[in-house]
Each structure stands twice: as C-alpha cells, then as structure tokens.
Structure 1
Amino acid sequence: MDRGTQHTATALIDAVRDRTTAARVAEAAAFVAVGDWAAAHTSDAVVGDPLTTLGEWDAEALAGDQFLELGGPGAPVVAEFCISEVAAARGCSFDAARRLVGDAVELRYRLPRVHERIAAGEVDVWRGRRIAQATRPLTFEAAGFVDRHVAYVAGKATGAEVDRLVAEAAARFDPETTEAERHGADGDRYLAIDLGDVAYADPLTGTLRGTVNVHGSLDLADALDLERSIAHVARQLGELGCDPNLDIRRSMALGEIARRCDGVTTLEYDAGDATTETEPRPVHRARREVVLFVHLDHAAITGTLNGIGPGIDACTGMTGIDLARLDTPGLPRGAVTVEQVQSWCGSPDTRVTVKPIIDLNHHDAVNGYNPPDRIADHVRARWPRCVFPHCTRSSRTADLDHCERYDENGPPGQTSTRNLFPLCRRHHRMKTHRELRTGNRWTYRPTNPTQNEPPNAVIWTSPVGLRYLVDHDGTRPWPPDGPPGPDDPS
C-alpha cells in the first residue's frame, strides 16, 4: 500500500470513528432528556412503599392518567400519559417508549454512577439500559451495590458479567430469598430421553434415522461432572480416528459413558449370601472432582472485615461471609453461596483440589516454548480477557501468544509472564497473518511507563496505522506519536 492510499484508508477509518463518537454523544443526550422528561412527571410516591397505593397517589386518575411503577424499589412512579409524548417524539411504539422511560428512571434514581457516565458519553446507552433491566428486581440497597461495582467498567462489562454481579447483590442483600430460590430450583431438575419420538430421515417413506433427543436441567456440579466425562471420551474417540465432527463424537461419548464406568476403583464386599464369607471385589465408583481457585480477602484471613467486627459483611452489615467465588475453567466467574459449595464437596467420593494463590507482582519464566501451568494460570489471572481491542472473550479459553516472537536460537526465558498475553483464536490469527489488502498485520507491544505510558497495558497498531491502548479499564484510541495531549480522547 503506497502512502497516499494508506492516508485515504486512515482518513476513512477516522471518519467512521468520529461519526460513531458523535452518534454516541447525541444518543446519550437524548436518553438524558428522556430521563429529565420523566422526572418532571413523577409523584412523591416511590415503588415498593407499602404505605401508599395507586388510589392514594391520584384518586381521580384511575379512569385516566395513572402513575406507573417503571423502576425498581425506591424509584418514583411516573405518569402514564407522559410516555405517549416520548413515543411520538421518537417515532416508536408506546411499549418501546415505556421500556425506554423505565430504563431512564432506573438509571437516574437507582444507578446514578452509571447514569453519570452515560451522560458524559463514556458508556453506550444500550449498555446502561442492559444494566438497568437486570437490576430492576433488586432492592434499593442491592441496586446501589451493583452501581458502585459496575460503574467504572460499565463500558466494557458483558451481559453475563452484569448478571453475575446482580445475582451476587441479590444473595448479599436478600439471602433468604436467594437460598429459597436455589432450593426451589431443585424441583426443576429433570432429564428426558425421548425414546418415543425417534427421528426419521424421511417422514414420507418412514426411513428410520435412529436418533432421539436428550434434554434436561442439572445441578451445576452434576453438569460439570458430565461435561468433563463427555469431553474426555470425545477426545479419546477423536484420537482413535473416529468421526472428525466434534458434536457427533460428543453424542457418541454419552453412549460410551453409559456402557462403562469411568472412575476410581475401591474394594467392597459382595452383599450376596450373608452366611458365607466373601472376598472383597473391585467396584468402580464415579468420583466427583471439585477444583477450587482460592481468592482470599482480608476477611477470610483475619475473620474481620475492615475492622468492623468478626464476620460482618462490610457491604450489608450482616453477620457472616456467605458467598464463595466460582472461578472454574470453561465457566464464567461468579458468586455462589457457601452452602452450595458445601453440598458439592460433602460427598465422600469427592476429590477437592485447591489451587494456590498467584502473586501477580512476581514474574516467572521458562526456556521452552510451551508455558507450564503455573505461568499460564498467572497470565490468565492477570488478563481475564483477550487483550485485542474491545474483545470480551475469556482468557481461560484463549491462546497464549508470545508478544515478542519466540526464537529457538534466542536467549533463555522467552516464555515468561511478561511476554505472554491471551488472544482468542480469531485475534491470534489476525495478529499472526497479514491482511491481504494492505499487506500489513495487527501488532502490539506492552506499554513502557518510563516513556509516560500507562502501566499494565498494551498498545495495538492496526494495518492502516491506527493505535489503540488496551488495559483493565477497556480500550481507547491512542495517538501515533506518544501519549495523548489534553485535547486528545482518553
């Protein structure tokens, strides 16, 4: 690509970026205006107040305009007819306008930190609305907990991460309801094998395909056990040259598991004739494996939280530290109740593996190309996501890329916690292979704090020369010559 062509390509991408920014700012301003409009049509009553009823808000409005509960507990009620004005102004249906006003009210009154970032153009409106829709069932205190913890990452938090935080808030501030719902979910578990509904390849001729549907709902620990066994057997079938289609091998693996017992061997006495002596015989018993990634805080070590007292939760003020952190490879991270972990680990056939705490301030290196588990765990703990700009894929399923290309004849210690970064497969390919049109590739490097660059970050350069800085707070444009000035975006 010659200089003139590259300049044109850069200008086009700059135009896309500038117009996207302008659209984001305009959308944020419109959303704030909707919230201002709703605030001008509220009542003194709030959602969830047991001392007020709809009739007490406005007795004459029962046949006409009424106040609606659009936000969560603690948010003011909003006049129904004002929503029609919003629908007309935006050219949308009443139901769509009602959802929009409800999200604006939720953010304005129960998630003020996230709302402030939306108003400043730092968070997309759709992301803020996604958070508002998730927090609406929470108590006022629980919504404030979510607001405090998600506001600074609202611009990059995925829907699954928001849902996990909302679930944690519900467990912290309403533990009785959370535990009751967990036990209530036990009745929803089932496993169905539709033997009476055999699939046919051609319903007209009656040609039998010989497959049936299997579906169900399992306890998380049971599902993990089953997934581990299916993945193991499917991998074995692949190594034996079985069907290359992974989905087919997984379906075959379930049948293999049904025909054999994959577990530990113990010695038990045959409970046959109780009058005769019998020799112990080997019995296969399935073993559950629970891997705990330990995340200790001050409360777990000392038994107190911020000096408040023994076992007092600083967030809720209640006695007891009732939540555990779930950080299992292949699953999203989140919080579960201690009682549930105890139920998983309580079986005598359960093998519990406790992973050590990783000191992210200590760096490690080896001489070979493939990193050992201790280095891989360190890198993934430091970078929970793929480090490509705006990517949200988990690092637990990502490749570990050598930022500086590995040289077999190079110096020792090239495979290190400083030189490895997680890249999902798609972005690993983009970094490795050149773009056909430009002949360039995406490149990146760690930042250098001695050159006035932020620590613990990487700077990417696109094939057309645009640069982006990626750190734990997300992605932002980075100018081509040094750090941004006072008028540059940050």
Structure 2
Amino acid sequence: MFDPIADEFDVDQTLDRGAAARAAENAAQVELILVALHYADLNAVVQPPPGGEIVPGIERLRVFGGEGCPPLAEFCAMEFGGRLGMSHGAAAAYLGEALALRHRFPKTFAQVLAGKAEPWRARQVARACLSLSLVAAGIVDDRVSGIINKVTPARLGRIVAAAKMQADPEKAKADAELFARQRGVWLGRANEHGTKSVIARTAAGDANRLDAAVEELAEILALCGDTDSHQQRRAKALGLLADPAAALELRSHGRRKAARSTSSAAGPASPVRPVDPGDTKLNAPAEAIAEASTDANANVSASASASASACATVDASARADGDTSADGGACADANVSRGGRPDADLSASRHVGADPQLAARGQSKELEDDLHEDGVDEDSEDSEDGVDEDVSLDRLLADIKYRSARRAPHTVYVHITDTALAAGEGVARVEGIGPMLVSQLKELIAHEHVVLKPVIDLREQISVDAYEAPQRIREWIKLRYPTPMVPWATTETTLSTDLDHVRPFTKNGPPGQTSTTNLSPVTRLPHNAKTHGGWRNTLLPDGSIEWISPRGARYLVDHTGTQYLGQVDLATGVFTASRPPPSVTLRLAEGS
C-alpha cells in the first residue's frame, strides 16, 4: 500500500522522504539486476532441435555482454522482455549489461551491491565498453569503480571514453577508422507536432560548409521579410537545400535584393556605361567565362582532413533562438549548375553575419561584380526570372519552388477522415511522421507537384496463392499495422518488414493463404521464435494478435500496444491470473 506524504512534513522531512525513495529505487534496480543474472543462468543452454537438423533461424547460443560473459539461449530475451514490458532488443541489452557487470567489471559490481554506485551508472559503463576485450574492460573497471558515484553522468562518460583509449589504443584507432566509414545521414522520429530531426555524421569541413550555406540562406530569408527567429530560419534554410535549384534561385534573388538596397542607400545610381563593341572583357567568349567560373568554384573539400569528422543533429522544429554552433550542422554535398554554367558554391567561403544588411554594407562591391558577371541589371524593375522584388515571402517561395527543376518522386500516405478533409481542420496521421494537424499538411506538401493516387481501402481483402507477398499486399499491411505486431514492439513497419503467415503456409494447401487476413508484420527474432522456439500467435477477428510464449505467458497486441494477460497452463490450457512476485530477494551464489 502506498504511504502518502504527510501534509505536515516540512522541507527537511520532505527531502528525507525523497532520498529514501531514491534509495529504495536503487535497491529495486539492484534486485532486478540479480533477477536478470539468475534468469541468465537458467538459460545458458539451448535444447537440440528435433532430429538434430540445423536450419536457418533456429535458436542458438549468443553472447550478449561481451568477451568473458557466458552465452545465452537467443530466444530467452523475448520471454524476459515480455514479462518486464520491454522489447526483445532492450531485454537482450539488459541481460548483457548485467552479465558484463558480473564477469567483466567485478569491482564496479561490488560497489553496486554495496549501495555505493547507482545501478544505472554501472550499466552505462558496461554498455559503453561492450566491444572491449576482457583485459581492457578490467583496466576501465580499475579506473572508474571508485568514482562512479562521485561525478556527473557527462563527466563519467568522458572518463570512460578516455579509459577505453588508454586500455586498448589499437582498438581506439580501429574504432576511429570505423567511425569515419560510418558517416551518413539519418532521419529521426517525428514528434506529435509534425517535426523531425535530421542526424548527420560527416567530415568536419563538409559540416562547416553546410553550416555556412544554411546561415547564408537564413539571412536571405530575413532580408526577404521573414520575421521568424534565427534558428527557425536556419531550419527553413536546411529544407530549402533539399531542392538545390530553389536554394540557388533564392540566393540569387537575395543577392539582387541586397545590391538594390545598397544602391538605394548610396543615392542615385551611376549612369550605365555604354557597351563598347571593342571591349574584349565584356565580349569574352562564353566558354572562357564558364572556364573561369569553374576554376573559381573548384572543389575545396579536398583541403578538409579525410579523418576529421563531425556528428551533428539538426532539429527541423521551431525552436527558441539560441547558439547551437557547438553542435555543428548536418551534411549536404551538391554541385548545382544553372544555365549550363556552374554557379557560385552554395557553401560560400564567407559567413553572412546576423545583421541582414551585412551583405549590403560590407560586400556590396563583391555583389556588384557577381551581378555584372551574371548579366543581371540591378536597376531593372523585375528580376531576370520574372519575380517581383517586392513580392511577399510566401509568394516568392511558392514561385521559386514551383519552377524548380527538382521532381524527385516521393510517396506520402495520409490517413484522414472525410469530416476532417471537408472541414480543413482536425487531425490526420501521416506514415513515417505520425499525427499532424490538417492545417500542417500544407507545410508537408506545399509547392510540390502533387499526384493523387486512389485511396487504399483497408477493408478490402487481398490474397494470392504464392508464398511471397506482392508489393500491393505489403503496402496494405504497412498501412494497416504501423508497428510490428509483436509484444512491446518499438520499430515501425516498413515494406521490408518480415510478414508472418499466422496460419502457417502449406504447400499444396488451399488457395489464397497469403492474404491480408492471414499476414502480420513481425521483426526477425520473434518470427524465428515462432518458427523454431515454441511461440504461438493467433490472428483475432478485429486484427489484433494474441501471443503465447513457451512458458504460457499471454500477450494481446493491437493498435493500442501490448497487454500482458496472465498465464496459461500449457498442460491443461486453463488460464490463470498472473502469479504474484516472490517475496524473497534473490542473492548471488557464493563465488559468482
């Protein structure tokens, strides 16, 4: 029974109660680690397959905690995670961390058992050193065991990183080389407000150049009337770089606007000098201009160190204005050409400052030269592309993006009710993003060339006779089940997710066995556990899935998530309520 906090507690008594609660939490975490170790000891063997035949996907022994840890039966993580409300991946990681503490970090583990080190900190150390050898892990153990509870988590992370390098310098060098080969760009998960993070790992020089390009476009947006904060404009600028032609055109427009502002501030413009037919400079061959421009825009990335890298996270949401320069920027490499001539490098060598008029004041001569080189007359009423210089920002971006040459196809699945569609307000769900306000759909697909496809009716049943599911069935399953239908799933269903025949497919069986009424998306380990590990599932009429583990644990998986239903006596099939947890605390065996 929960003991509520007494209203008459003063500040000191309330803090004492909080400290006691934290101590109880740590004690519970220690007990859970001991439970995990005991469970691991009970699952250190794999039953041989019937007939002794080894087939792909069969259960095997697997080391979860690193060198020096005993191997475990691979499917045991699914049973452990199911009862503790974890995905099988999180359960495998937890079991591995517990085993690593016992077998690779004995001094740190002793501190945990003595109540001198918080268990989550110790698990953090074990997780960070998973790839180290047993000897190197021992060196880290010596270094951190006495201070693990005395420093902040951030400092502990730095100490562990330094200790790893000292313990195994060759491994640290190999890891650095591996990290350089693991550069890439990833999309994070969308939040409920329709924003996503872009995560990039790239060479430091490329990151700096992208940061300069983003900054320049952000200042051009301000020059064109965007009143959002600096970071909001940087987020918009990153989105513009996804369409290089549009970004290039906006940049040219902004430079013309800056030059016009400079001319206005300086007074009446000087008379335009008549063109002299004999002026060889003005009549230089186009090939020579292109060659000179190409030379001026030579690739400068070669000067960046090949080994230098930067990891950055760019949040595309509307954030408060703040300095994020320490985090670097995401990466985009693009060689953009227009009119047959390479234009100026988007990642300009100069960095436009926070003052929107800096380009006009400090770089007017450079702008003027560039504009003459581009053949642009800054005294004309309209720009060369027909965009009115004084048009609103929204109209400007719409015109630029509409004329953009980029037409990369991209499919967007939108789930929306007829009521919300008619009213233009309400909530829609977008695949890969999540819930969005209907009004935000304009932001998602604005200025794109939209091709509407027929609505996929999820009430329609599709079936084929072959074992493999065709693309149209995979698409139906992806839309019907946004996440895999396994206990405590954490990933999203994709077109490549495993599809499980809930009623097993049989050769020479009835037609239509591969159908939307008999397929369920599953991740690979649960799929193998059902095929080879004794797990069973049943597709219910409402589309939910009931799973039963080899030990009789029942789980209901539906669109709301996972629910543990209790136990089934496998011998009799009788359902029993969940057994209460034992009251006796597990202790380590002598010598463990």
Relative contact order higher in (CA < 8 Å, ≥ 6 apart): 2
> TM-score band, normalised by the shorter chain?
0.3 to 0.5
Superposition TM-score, scaled by structure 1 size? 0.36
Superposition TM-score, scaled by structure 2 size? 0.31
* Structure ranking higher in strand proportion: 1
Which structure has the greater CA radius of gyration?
2
